[in-house]
Amino acid sequence: MLEVNSHKHLKKYYQNNLALWPHNLTLTRLISRSLSRKDNTFIQLSSDSKNFWWPGLLIPLCLHNNNIVLILSERQHRLLFEVELPKLRSSRLGFDYVEGIELIPSDKKIWVLRYQDLIFANEKDLLKNRQLIFLESEFISNELRESMSIKITPKDWENLIASHSHFEASIIEVHERLNRILFSHSISSDAVIRIDHRELLALKEILKDDLPSAMPWKRALNVVNNEWVTWAKVDNRKLSWDWYMQPLLPLQPLSGLLSKNALLMLNNSGQSDSSFLDLNKKQFTFNIRVNLGNKFDQEPTPLFVPKRQPLPNTSHFYRHIIRQCQRLILGRSRPTIVLVDDLQLRLQITSELAGEFGLRVVHETTNIETNGIICCSCNWWIINQYNLPTPDQLIFPVIPLPTLESPWIAAKVEMLKHQGRDWFREFLFPETLTTLLKSLAIIRGKDVRVAILDGRMHYRSWGKLIFEALEPWVTLERLLPY
């Protein structure tokens, strides 16, 4: 019955709104079935779905809101409340919800939670017998890791000393020791330096009879262990540093919740398996797995990956990517997006291109000229792509492999090595594919070309797997003048 009613309302919705994705009727049926039967359902959306799949999810939720928890990232939250719900109200459908953790809803209201709220609700055991819905589920691990992150600033140290004055000398001794270690190893103005988590344990031992009750110290001293990575961001100009802490296995605290509750997960990346390695290790399974849309029916993306490109570790690679970027940008009438995750390399490329193209070149800002050139990280582009006009092209000077200069990435690789696992195939490479596919999602089906200027696409065995993941595409053998 839910499927029938959802179909009727979706057709009415289409009368008031443009139907730009052909699989919404199927998606509505699948979600209605999952809600009615409480199945563990995984739905892989094709890359042309963009944000057009929202009605297929929201309409069944309006009609069947029994013990439902909808978990959203910050971007998804904005889309839901600023874009999708106003459109839904025009179709006279009510989305009966409670937001946040201040008020626990009844069984008949949809509970809308951000990831931080999800962690708190799980710790308080508030999610029993509720079906959990995750959107863009390929980013669950990343969202949880960011939400569980802890940051300790110099002000927090001052507050700790003020509230534990009888331990003042011991706390200052720990802080001064860390100061000496960090500034002796700092070789740049904004260095990032790993800190052994045992430094936190030493502080906990000092305060063991009077552990702080204020955040962030309370959480840091209670949850951080050897499965967390901690590091400092050092500011040599201010002679100060901030202490950061993140879990290596962010899904682990939720493993019990995810194995006991019914789940509905929508995935947009195209990589339906790599995102769930941690879950699969626990024998977690979905009752229903569905791929919506055949990617080979989509318009192929023009792809420029010339052969005989140098590898990134060669001496002439940098000049090669600068020349290629300049050639690719010449004569373009719409924006160009240059995607580089390495900050130092990105700033160098930005400077070089600004010398050639002037004020058209900007760094991570949405305020651009009609034919502007944005140099940015992949994550910045993924977050801000909906606030920008459709570009002429995306340029990847290097394949966006996660950098081992990131303390969290380095620590995760060390952990996998220690376990004797294939850290590249299990971790770095799936992360790379997810980043690439998410970066390309918005330009699928549009006349936007993609250039990858990294010789590893042809000279490494895993380069072939990237070509396969990017399908459908059509080769651009050479650049033609306008």
For residue 228, list its beta bridge partners. Answer: 247
Residue 19: φ, ψ to 5°: -95, 105
CA 48/CA 168 separation, integer angstroms: 59
State the DSSP string of 305-344: --SSPPPTTSTTHHHHHHHHHHHHHTT--S-EEEE---HH
User: 390 in helix, strand or coil?
Assistant: coil
**CB of 237 within 8 A of CB of 189?**
yes
For residue 132, list its beta bridge partners. Answer: 69, 263
- Cα–Cα–Cα angle for 55, 58, 64, rounded to 5 degrees: 135
Q: Which two tokens stand for residue 202?
A: 């030493």
Q: What's the pLDDT score for residue 53? A: 87
> From residue 477, how far is each of 49, 305, 415, 440, 444 by CA, in Å?
29, 8, 42, 20, 20
Residue 366 C-alpha from the chain's centroid: 19
Which residue stretches of the chain have pLDDT < 50?
A: 272-283, 481-482
CA 229/CA 403 separation, integer angstroms: 16
Q: What's the pLDDT score for residue 456? A: 94
CA 25/CA 29 separation, integer angstroms: 6
CA 450/CA 183 separation, integer angstroms: 42
State the DSSP string of 143-154: HHHHHH-EEE-H
CA 433/CA 429 separation, integer angstroms: 6
Q: Residue 22: in which H helix or E strand, if any?
A: none
CA 98/CA 266 separation, integer angstroms: 22
Give me the residue label for tokens 């839904």: 88
Does the CA dihedral 471-473-477-482 come out positive or negative? negative
State the DSSP string of 382-441: HHHGGGSPPPSEEEESS--PPPTTSHHHHHHHHHHHHTT--HIIIIIHHHHHHHHHHHHG
Which among 127, 170, 172, 181 is positioned nearest to 154, based on CA atoms? 172
Burial grade of 33 (CB within 10 A; 0-12, 13-18, 19 or more) = middle
Residue at 177: amino acid letter:
R
Which among 222, 267, 264 is positioned nearest to 133, based on CA atoms? 264
Task: Report the chain's terminal Cα–Cα distance, integer Å.
Answer: 56
Q: Which two tokens stand for residue 203?
A: 């502080």
Residues 6+ apart with CB under 8 A from 356: 326
Q: What's the pLDDT score for residue 197? A: 86
Peptide bond into 407 cis (omega under 30): no
CA 63/CA 215 separation, integer angstroms: 40
Residue 476: φ, ψ to 5°: -100, 105
What does DSSP say about strands 288-292 and 150-152: parallel, antiparallel, or unpaired?
unpaired
Q: What's the pLDDT score for residue 274? A: 43
Q: Residue 58: in which H helix or E strand, if any?
A: helix 54-63
CA 167/CA 165 separation, integer angstroms: 5
DSSP designation for 428: I
Q: What's the pLDDT score for residue 480? A: 55
Kindly calculate the radius of gyration of the chain based on its CA atoms and give it in whole angstroms: 25
Q: What's the pLDDT score for residue 272? A: 44
State the DSSP string of 200-247: HHHHHHHTTTS---STTHHHHHHH--TTEEEEEEEETTTTEEEEEEEE
Which conformational region is residue 311 in: left (phi greater than 0), alpha (psi within -120 to 50 degrees), or beta? beta
Q: Which two tokens stand for residue 244?
A: 């950061």
Which conformational region is residue 308 in: left (phi greater than 0), alpha (psi within -120 to 50 degrees), or beta? left
